[in-house]
Amino acid sequence: MIKGKASHGMTSSSIMKTNAIASGFLLMMTFLSLLLYGGIGIAGSPSGSGVSPFPSQQGFDHKSHLKSNIVRVEVDAGTVVSRVSPYLYGLNVARWDEDLFPGPSSDMLLDCDRDAIRKVKEAGFTLLKYPGGNDADHYIWNSPDNSADEMNTDEYAALLKTIGAHGFITVNFNEPPSLAAEWVRYCNKVKGYDIKYWEVGDEQWGAWAAGHATPEKYAERFIKFAKAMKAVDPAIRIAADVKPSGDPNDWTCRVLKAAGNYIDLVTFSYYPLTDKDEHPDSLFASLPTYRRDYDAIRHALHETLPAIDPIHGKVRADTMWIADVGYNSVNRRPGPITLSIANALWTGDLLGTMAELGEKISCFWALHNSYPPAGGDYGILSEDGKNTRSYSYYVFPAYSHLFGHKVVQCISSNPSLSAYAALHDRDTLSIILINKDKRRAENVHIGLRDFQPDSHTSGWILNAKHKLDKLSDGPRAGSAFVEKVPPYSLVVLHLLRKGTVLPPTNLALHARATASTSAMNGPDFGPSSAVDGKLYTRWASAALWGADKGLDPEWFQIDLERPRHFNEVVIHWARGHGVDYKLEVSSGGVRWKTIYSETNGRGGTERIRFKQVGKRYIRLTGSKGSPAISSYSIYEFEVFNSTKK
C-alpha cells in the first residue's frame, strides 16, 4: 500500500508538490495478499495453531436458514474471547496534512483546525500514528527546510494531548539511526511527550518503498536503530513492519530470524482492493483473508522467535503484538467506494474481527486524504474546509463509546450478517450486528447464554440515512428475541442484566436551555453552557457587577422535549448563586407549578429532592442572587429520576 500525500494526493497542488516521489510510488505492484476478516467461526487463531478460537457452529444448518431468511446469532456472555485493547481505535495523521496546523508552531493555538480536532476527539480515537505512511521514509523530522504549513513534532504532540491519545511514530529508515535516536530524545527526554511506540521504516519489504532493502539488510539496520533509540529511552517499544502473505522470498521470516531479539512488536497494513476493482461484493468477499493473514504472521513468529522470553518467562511468539497500522478498502487511487456506506460496514466488520483476535493496535488510514482524480477520499473527514464526516467515521464512536471491553463468544449463522458482542462490565452487554446485504432486511433471532437481560434494550443504527442515530428503546423477550436489521446497516444494541440498577441519567444533558439574560462579558456564558456536561463552562446572568443587595429577578429554563418523570435537581453553582429562588414545572410552558422554594441558598452544589412529577419544562425563577458580577451563574443544571431514598 502506497500511503501518503505523494501517492494518494489530497489536492491537485499537493500532487504537484510531491510529483517526484509519486512517480516512483504509483508504479507499485497490485497489493493482493491482504483482505479482510472472516465471518465468525472461520479457521485461524492468534495462537498460530490453525484452529479457530471459536467453537464450531454446532446446531446451525446454514443452508436451511438461508432458505428461510432466518439468521440466528448466539451470544455466550460467559465465554470471554479477548479483551479490547485501549489502542485498538487508532488513526493515521500525516505531517503533510496542511489543514490541521497551517502555520508555524508559535501560532498553533491561533491557526489550528479546531473543528477537525474536536471531531477526532468525539470519535474516540485512542492512538494517532505519525508522520504518514511511506512518506515517513522521506521525512527528516528536524530539518529546517520543513514547511511551516505542515504538522511538526510539537504540533503532533499537542494534538495527542488534546485528543487524549497515545503516540506512535515511524522513523526514516534511510537516515542514520542517530537521527531517530535524537527524535526519541527530543520527544521523551527534552519535551516529556512520552511516545512509547516507534516503528523503523514503512513497508520496506515493498519494491516501491524508499530504501527498499533485502531482509538481511533491513534486519541489520533495524538492530542499529533499536540499539541507538533504546540507548536514549529503554522503555520504548520498537516495531518492524512485515509482509503477512504473498511472500515468495520469505521476507518476514528472514527478518525475524536475523533481528527477532531486538523486535518488540510487528506491524503490517491491509488494503484488500485495487483501484481496478472497487466493488462492495469484492470487499465483503475478501473478509476471510484477514484472519488467515493474521494467523500467517503469528505462525512466522512461532517459526522464528526463541521459545521463551527470558524476561517474562513466556512464549514470545504468543505474546508479541501484531499491529495493523494502516487499513482501508483500496490500496491506491481511491474511488467512490471509500465514501460509501459499504466502506463503513467493512470497517466495522474489520474492527470486530480485530477485537476478537485480541489485536493490540490498529490504525485507520486516514484523518484527511482525498483523491479528486478518482472521486475518492480515504479520510474520515473531508478536506474542503468543512470536515464533513464520512460514513466510516461513525464506526469508531460505535465501537469506542458503545462496544464493551471484554469480547465474548458470538456466532452468526449467515455470513451476510456479522455479529460481535462484548461486556462493558458484568451487567451491560453490547451486540453489534452488520447486515451486508444491500437489498434484504434480516430478521435476526438472538439467543443469549449466561445473560438474562432486562425487558428493554437501547439501540443505535448506522446506514445511508442514519448517522449512528439512536433507536427507540424497545421491549425484548428475555434471553431470546428478534431484531430486524435493515439492508446495508450496522446496529448496536445495549442490554442490561435483569435486576441491575444503573445510576440515574441526567435528563437535562444537552437539552434546550433558555434564560432571561446572559452575560456579554464573555463568549460562552449562554444557557446551553449549563447543560453541556462540563463543569468548567457556565451560564451567567447579565453582568451587573453586584445588583443592589442581590435583588435581580432572573430565570433559567429547560425543555426536555417531551414529558419526563423526575424527582431530583442538582445545581452546581458558580460564584454567583441563587439566594431566594424557586423551581417550577410545566407541561406546555405556559402554566407553572412550584415544586420547591429556597430563601437562603448558599451556593456550591445543591441537591434538591421532591415528589416525582411528569413534566416537559422545568424553570428556576430567582428574585435574589448573590452580590457577584452575575447574580446567578450555573456550571451545570442536572435533572434526574432517582431511585435513592
In a domain, 15, yes or no: yes
Question: Which of 465, 497, 529 represents a domain boundary (last residue)?
Answer: 497
Q: Return the SS3 of 35.
A: coil
| CA–CA gap between residue 416 and residue 440 (Å, rounded) | 10
Give residue 545's pLDDT.
65
In a domain, 458, yes or no: yes
Give residue 290's pLDDT.
95
- Determine the straight-line distance between the first and last CA of the chain, rounded to whole angstroms: 60
Query: In Å, what is the CA distance from 194 to each residue of 167, 236, 322?
Result: 8, 9, 21
Residues 523 and 596 in one domain: yes
CA-based nearest residue to 435, from 421, 416, 414, 420: 416
Residues 374 and 418 in one domain: no
| CA–CA gap between residue 450 and residue 405 (Å, rounded) | 17
Domain span at residue 550 reads 512-640
Here the CATH number for the domain that contains residue 23 is 3.20.20.80
pLDDT higher than 90, residue 590:
yes
Residues 480 and 550 in one domain: no
Q: What is the mean pLDDT of the chain?
A: 87
Residues 351 and 420 in one domain: no
Give residue 55's pLDDT.
29
Tens digits of residue pLDDT in 458-504: 999 999 999 999 998 666 657 899 999 999 999 999 999 998 887 88
Question: Which of 428, 462, 497 represents a domain boundary (last residue)?
Answer: 497
In a domain, 69, yes or no: no
Tens digits of residue pLDDT in 289-344: 999 999 999 999 999 987 766 555 677 888 899 999 999 999 999 999 999 999 99
In a domain, 229, yes or no: yes
| CA–CA gap between residue 602 and residue 577 (Å, rounded) | 7
Residues 342 and 221 in one domain: yes
Residues 209 and 323 in one domain: yes
Give residue 62's pLDDT.
33
Here the CATH number for the domain that contains residue 535 is 2.60.120.260
In a domain, 507, yes or no: no
pLDDT higher than 70, residue 620:
yes
Give residue 49's pLDDT.
27
Residues 599 and 487 in one domain: no
In a domain, 156, yes or no: yes
Task: Say how many domains are in the chain.
Answer: 3
Q: Are 436 and 417 in contact (CB under 8 A)?
A: yes
Tens digits of residue pLDDT in 188-214: 999 999 999 999 999 999 888 998 989
Q: Please name the residue that has the C-alpha cell 501517492.
A: 7
| CA–CA gap between residue 197 and residue 316 (Å, rounded) | 18
Give residue 122's pLDDT.
97
Residues 213 and 120 in one domain: yes
Here the CATH number for the domain that contains residue 410 is 2.60.40.1180
Residues 516 and 481 in one domain: no
Residues 529 and 603 in one domain: yes
Residues 251 and 219 in one domain: yes
In a domain, 480, yes or no: yes
Confidence of residue 27 (pLDDT cuts 50, 70, 90): very low
Cis amide linkage into residue 366, ω under 30° from 0: yes
Confidence of residue 44 (pLDDT cuts 50, 70, 90): very low
In a domain, 269, yes or no: yes
- One DSSP character per residue, 369-410 reads -EEGGGTEE--SB-TTTT-PBPTGGGHHHHHHTTS-SEEEEE
Q: Which residue has the higher pLDDT, 69 or 546?
A: 69
Q: Among residues of the chain, what percentage have pLDDT more than 90?
A: 76
Average pLDDT over residues 70-83: 96
Residues 156 and 179 in one domain: yes
